[in-house]
């Protein structure tokens, strides 16, 4: 598999994790003023009467709520004379400004050094960039930064909506040394039939660099060393040195590097973990991979794609198929309708040239349509507002072609940006030119047993500024039914304006109302429409989501492909939510951020490291989270495919007891999250949120330890853990996902 992974993902670029020892200045507070005045960028402006504002927390969170459509300025006074002494390069000042909700412009001593997002008064107009990290660089050779005295960093901020201001800081400043400037990259490749990694080091500085470069390719878990190198390099401006190493066939491997500048002695260490596949190759004979439990309302269409992997062609038959149902063996799906409530159990037999498999499927006809968390795809994290019907079909086709549908991924959800600018004359919702036919799209998906999802808002506009459903809720629910929609994501966003005019605004009732309304209309349609609430957890939605018949509710703001975002959303914000997730009503920590994402036409590899991606999927499995793929499936490499298609891992997510995991051990940065499973066993993840690898002895946690006589299963590699093992290696930001047997 590793060779295949490499061939299909030739030259995938990896993010380098840098352990830098560079000195820095750090600012957790700044002088601050709401409003806007061009004078405030200047060094000589007197801000002594301004209030203090933290740079690490949004306005709302530090007692300044409601500053919507508002400017504000932060001013930080700084002196770099001491910092200069720590650098052998002294050419640039690198500034981190955390994240800013929504857009900003940055000045030093009145000189603009950069901007992120778009200010409403700029030529291109407003554009939010609230989740982007802000890095700015000031050229120290240009003379506007005072090297020996006071300077002022002034940050002009615009908040369109949301909580406003700078967060995720503190603001930090560094003056890079020469060795900080060196650029590293790692590519996977195949040379002479051998999988290998190519590590390159480039000098971007306009002078020759001489340094000692050390490198080790190893498995930190087993201590095995695959390769070592130690060499002295002399690299000219823009020159690149490339080193090639064979890659072990399978399993964990890490590349540790160290570079020391010979003149200054300054040294930096770097570490990269290439994408490593743990999921064993799939057998060619048929294998059923899903929960084999499906909920549908009486008389609603059954649209069920049979999750079965194995070589095609394959025939699927049932000797005891209930009346009213049909099997389309070629497209691997079951259709039809069942009128009477109750439990229908029947057998499925799959046969191909390599073998056969049998299973029992239960269709439960009743009120509940999401007996296990939804699995599928959503367009947002990859295409953002640039989504089109063509792009949706391309990912849907790839879900089938790459065999992800064989693991239960079956919802294909169009997020924002399918709507026309205006409704039709009769008030019905219209689509824009990127979506030639919604009904056609629905029919096409259904013919493959896939289900069709769509997006709207209870407001007049969506988050992306497209038409919402306000005052047209019934008409929209009816249109969805006509198009064959099976899933609605209903996103608060534009409702904020209506909410602001309501007399009971801020009460739970005011948050429930718009969702109650649409919930009722959806339920009255003659088909099952999964109802996905998206209002970021306001008014503790997990406490009342079930009452509006929601099948899931987003518990947090939007996720992005960084460790910080994954940590906040996956760990910190889910700790208390385990009592609220249950069959038919799931907590939704947002869509997955693996594979090629980008929220636009510019896709990139997820910025999560391989270890972080294992953490992500393990955690989503334990949390009984919606498993919605957020990347372009057509461009999915084998690493991501294997990450998403491990049937033992997915079985945890799809476990029919529907118990969400909770943290049972918190020991510094080590956390164990566990969930009970339908068969009486327990799944748990040992997570290492720290910056260093750890070896965790679970027998130390007496309240949690399952006992010496319990056999454990290592789910990612699908092997039993050798008897007597209680200690587990868990890489920094990584996980061991285990299950008792
Ligand atoms: C909000 C939601 C996202 C996405 C966008 C679309 O930000 O939280 O998941 O649907 O809107 O505009």
User: How far apart are alpha carbons 345 and 439 in whole angstroms?
Assistant: 32
Residue 436, CA distances (Å) to 99, 383, 387, 431, 634 in order: 38, 18, 13, 8, 21
Nearest to 250 by CA among 527, 4, 71, 592: 4
Query: Within 114-263, where are the H helices?
Result: 178-181
pLDDT digits (tens, 9 = 90+) for 539-597: 999 999 999 999 999 999 999 999 999 999 999 999 999 999 999 999 999 999 999 99
H or E element in which residue 381 lies: helix 380-383
Please choose from 414, 464, 538 the residue to mutate so as to test ligand 1's pocket, defined by most ligand atoms within 8 A of CB: 464
Decide if pLDDT at 409 tops 80.
Answer: yes
Crossing angle of helices 508-523 and 473-483, rounded to 10°: 40
Q: Sorting pLDDT into bands at 50, 70 and 90, what band is 7? A: very low
- Convert 588-617 to b/e letters by CB count within 10 Å (16 or more is b): bbbbbbbbbbbbeeebebbebbbbbbbbbb
Distance, first Cα to last Cα, the chain: 28
Q: What 3-state class would DSSP assign to 109?
A: coil
Reduced to 3 states, what is the DSSP secondary structure of residue 178? helix
Whether 712 has a pLDDT exceeding 60, the answer reads yes
Residue in 203, 207, 212, 208 with CA at minimum distance from that of residue 241: 203
Active-site residue flag, 637: no
Question: What is the pLDDT at residue 22?
Answer: 61
Judged by phi (left if over 0) then psi (alpha if -120 to 50, else beta), residue 501 lies in alpha
Question: What is the average pLDDT across 354-360?
Answer: 98
- The 3-state DSSP class for residue 260 equals strand
* 335 burial level (CB within 10 Å; 0-12, 13-18, 19+): middle
- Residue of 102, 416, 491, 549 marked active site: 491
Q: Give the residue from 49, 45, 54 showing the smallest Cα distance to 74.
A: 54
Pocket test for ligand 1, best of 491, 493, 535, 553 (most atoms within 8 A of CB): 491
pLDDT recorded at residue 188:
83
Residue nearest to atom 1 of ligand 1 (CA): 463
So what's the pLDDT on residue 162?
Answer: 83
- At 8, is the pLDDT very low, low, confident or very high (cuts 50, 70, 90)? very low
Tens digits of per-residue pLDDT, 144-187?
999 999 999 999 999 998 889 999 889 999 999 988 888 888 88
Are 23-175 and 663-740 equal in CATH topology? Answer: no
Confidence of residue 730 (pLDDT cuts 50, 70, 90): very high
Q: Is the pLDDT of residue 5 over 50?
A: no
Q: For residue 329, what are the contacts with CB-CB under 8 A and spacing of at least 6? A: 314, 315, 316, 317
Taking CA atoms only, the protein residue closest to ligand 1 atom 11 is 463
CA distances from 329 to 25, 300, 399, 400, 597 (A): 65, 21, 17, 14, 33
Decide: 528 and 452 in contact? Cβ < 8 Å: no
User: What is the chain's length?
Assistant: 741
Residues 252 and 222: their CA atoms lie apart, in Å, by: 9
Architecture label for domain 287-365: Sandwich (2.60)
Q: Which atom of ligand 1 sits closest to the CA of residue 464?
A: 12
pTM of the model: 0.86
Q: What are phi and psi of 157, to 5 degrees?
A: -120, 140
Residue 427 has pLDDT above 80, yes or no: yes
Q: Is the pLDDT of residue 114 over 70?
A: yes
635-670 residue pLDDT tens:
999 999 999 999 999 999 999 999 999 999 999 999
Nearest Cα to Cα of residue 605 among 33, 101, 16: 16
pLDDT attached to residue 192: 86
pLDDT of 211 higher than 70? yes
CA angle 273, 275, 277 (to 5 degrees): 125
Whole-number Å distance, alpha carbon 370 to ligand 1 midpoint, is 22
Q: Which of 227, 558, 568, 693 is catalytic?
A: 558
Query: How far, in Å, from the CA of 415 to the mean position of ligand 1?
Result: 8
Element (H, E) at 496: helix 495-500
Task: Say how far apart CA 19 and CA 113 lie, in whole Å.
Answer: 27
Each residue of 369-401: pLDDT tens digit?
999 999 999 999 999 999 999 999 999 999 999
Alpha-carbon distance 481 to 101, whole Å?
37
- Ligand 1 centroid distance, CA of 591 (Å): 10
> What's residue 169's pLDDT?
85
Q: What's the pLDDT band for 249 if we cut at 50, 70, 90?
A: confident
Kindly report, residue by residue over 495-526, the tens digit of the pLDDT: 999 999 999 999 999 999 999 999 999 999 99
* Res. 4: pLDDT tops 70: no
Q: Is the pLDDT of residue 27 over 70?
A: yes
Architecture of the domain whose range is 663-740:
Sandwich (2.60)
CA of 394 to the centre of ligand 1 (A): 21
Q: Phi first, then psi: what are they for 590, rounded to 5°?
A: 95, 170
Distance 584 CA to ligand 1 centre (A): 22
Q: Measured from the CA of 554, which atom of ligand 1 is nearest? A: 8
CB 258 within 8 A of CB 214: yes
Residue 21 has pLDDT above 80, yes or no: no
Interval 609-617 mean pLDDT: 97
Per-residue pLDDT tens over the stretch 326-340: 999 999 999 999 999
**Neighbour-count burial for 400-419, b at 16+ CB within 10 Å, e otherwise:** bebbbbbbbbbbbbbbbbbb
CATH 3.40.50.80 fits domain 23-175: no
Where are the domains positioned within the chain? 23-175, 179-272, 287-365, 375-657, 663-740
61 counts as catalytic: no
- Encode pLDDT of 49-102 as tens digits: 999 999 999 999 899 988 999 999 999 999 999 999 999 989 999 999 999 999
Rounded to the nearest 5°, which phi and psi values hold at 504?
-100, 20
pLDDT above 90: residue 132: no
Q: Average pLDDT, stretch 459-472?
A: 96
Q: Are 737 and 687 in contact (CB under 8 A)?
A: no
The residues with which 111 forms a beta bridge, in sequence order, are 108
Q: Are 112 and 136 in contact (CB under 8 A)?
A: no
Whether 731 lines ligand 1, by a CB cut-off of 6 Å, is: no
Ligand 1 contact via 558 beta carbon (within 6 Å): yes
| Ligand 1 pocket, mutate which of 160, 455, 463 (most atoms under 8 A from CB) | 463
Q: Looking at residue 12, what is its pLDDT?
A: 33
pLDDT at 733: 97
The pLDDT, as a whole number, for residue 15 is: 36
**Any atom of ligand 1 within 6 Å of the Cβ of 416:** yes
**Residue 711 in this model has a pLDDT that exceeds 80:** yes
The domain 375-657 is placed in CATH, from the list 2.60.120.560, 3.20.20.70, 3.60.110.10, 2.60.120.380, at 3.20.20.70
Q: Which CATH number fits domain 179-272: 2.60.40.10, 3.40.1280.10, 3.40.50.720, 3.30.70.580?
A: 2.60.40.10
CA of 705 to the centre of ligand 1 (A): 40
Give the closest residue (by CA) to ligand 1 atom 9. 558
Give the span between the Cα atoms of 660 and 555, in whole angstroms. Answer: 14
Grade residue 20 by pLDDT with cuts at 50, 70 and 90.
very low
């Amino acid at each position: 598999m590793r060779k295949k992974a490499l061939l299909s993902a030739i030259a995938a670029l990896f993010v380098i994790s840098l352990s830098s020892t560079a000195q820095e200045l750090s600012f957790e507070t700044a002088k601050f003023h709401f409003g806007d005045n061009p004078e405030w960028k200047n060094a000589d402006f007197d801000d002594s009467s301004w209030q203090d504002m933290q740079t690490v927390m949004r306005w709302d969170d530090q007692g300044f709520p409601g500053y919507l459509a508002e400017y504000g300025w932060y001013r930080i006074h700084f002196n770099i004379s001491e910092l200069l002494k720590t650098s052998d390069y002294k050419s640039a000042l690198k500034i981190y400004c955390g994240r800013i909700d929504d857009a900003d412009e940055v000045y030093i001593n009145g000189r603009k050094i950069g901007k992120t997002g778009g200010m409403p008064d700029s030529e291109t107009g407003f554009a939010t960039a609230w989740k982007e990290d802000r890095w700015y660089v000031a050229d120290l050779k240009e003379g506007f930064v005072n090297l020996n005295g006071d300077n002022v960093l002034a940050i002009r901020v615009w908040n369109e909506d949301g909580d406003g201001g700078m967060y995720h800081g503190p603001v930090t400043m560094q003056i890079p040394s020469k060795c900080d400037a060196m650029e590293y990259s790692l590519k996977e490749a195949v040379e002479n039939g051998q999988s290998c990694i190519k590590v390159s080091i480039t000098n971007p500085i306009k002078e020759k660099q001489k340094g000692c470069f050390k490198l080790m390719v190893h498995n930190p878990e087993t201590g095995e060393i695959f390769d070592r190198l130690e060499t002295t390099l002399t690299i000219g401006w823009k020159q690149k040195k490339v080193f090639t190493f064979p890659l072990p066939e399978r399993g964990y491997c890490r590349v540790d590097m160290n570079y020391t500048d010979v003149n200054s002695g300054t040294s930096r260490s770097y570490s990269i973990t290439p994408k490593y596949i743990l999921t064993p190759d799939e057998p060619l004979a048929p294998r059923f991979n899903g929960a084999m439990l499906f909920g549908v309302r009486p008389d609603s269409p059954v649209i069920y794609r049979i999750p079965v992997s194995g070589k095609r062609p394959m025939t699927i038959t049932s000797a005891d198929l209930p009346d009213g149902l049909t099997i389309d063996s070629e497209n691997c799906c079951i259709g039809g309708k069942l009128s009477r409530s109750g439990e229908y159990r029947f057998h499925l037999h799959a046969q191909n040239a390599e073998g056969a498999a049998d299973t029992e499927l239960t269709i439960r006809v009743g009120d509940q349509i999401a007996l296990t968390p939804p699995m599928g795809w959503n367009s947002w994290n990859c295409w953002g507002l640039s989504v089109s019907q063509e792009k949706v079909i391309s990912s849907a086709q790839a879900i089938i072609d790459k065999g992800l549908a064989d693991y239960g991924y079956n919802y294909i959800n169009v997020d924002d940006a399918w709507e026309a600018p205006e409704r039709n004359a009769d008030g019905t919702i219209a689509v824009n030119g990127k979506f030639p036919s919604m009904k056609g799209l629905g029919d096409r998906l259904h013919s493959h047993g896939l289900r069709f999802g769509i997006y709207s808002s209870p407001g007049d506009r969506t988050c992306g500024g497209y038409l919402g459903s306000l005052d047209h809720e019934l008409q929209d629910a009816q249109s969805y039914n006509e198009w064959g929609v099976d899933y609605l994501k209903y996103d608060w966003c534009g409702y904020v304006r209506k909410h602001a005019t309501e007399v009971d605004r801020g009460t739970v009732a005011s948050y429930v109302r718009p969702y109650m309304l649409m919930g009722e209309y959806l339920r009255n349609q003659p088909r099952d429409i999964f109802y996905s609430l998206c209002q970021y957890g306001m008014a503790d939605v997990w406490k009342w989501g079930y009452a509006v018949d929601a099948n899931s509710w987003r518990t947090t703001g939007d996720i992005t492909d960084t460790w910080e975002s994954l940590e906040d959303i996956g760990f910190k914000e889910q700790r208390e939510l385990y009592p609220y997730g249950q069959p038919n009503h799931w907590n939704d920590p947002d869509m997955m951020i693996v594979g090629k994402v980008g929220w636009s036409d510019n896709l990139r590899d997820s910025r999560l490291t391989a270890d972080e991606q294992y953490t992500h999927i393990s955690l989503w499995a334990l949390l009984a989270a919606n498993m919605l793929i957020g990347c372009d499936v057509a461009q999915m490499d084998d690493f991501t495919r294997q990450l998403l298609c491990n049937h033992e891992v997915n079985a945890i997510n799809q476990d029919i007891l529907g118990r969400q995991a909770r943290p049972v051990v918190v020991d510094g940065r080590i956390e164990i999250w566990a969930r009970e499973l339908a068969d009486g066993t327990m799944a748990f993840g040992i997570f290492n949120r720290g910056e260093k690898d750890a070896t965790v002895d679970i027998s130390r946690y007496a309240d949690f330890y399952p006992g010496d006589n319990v056999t454990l299963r290592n789910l990612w590699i699908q092997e039993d853990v050798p008897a007597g093992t209680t200690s587990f290696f868990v890489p920094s930001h990584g996980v061991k996902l285990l299950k008792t047997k």
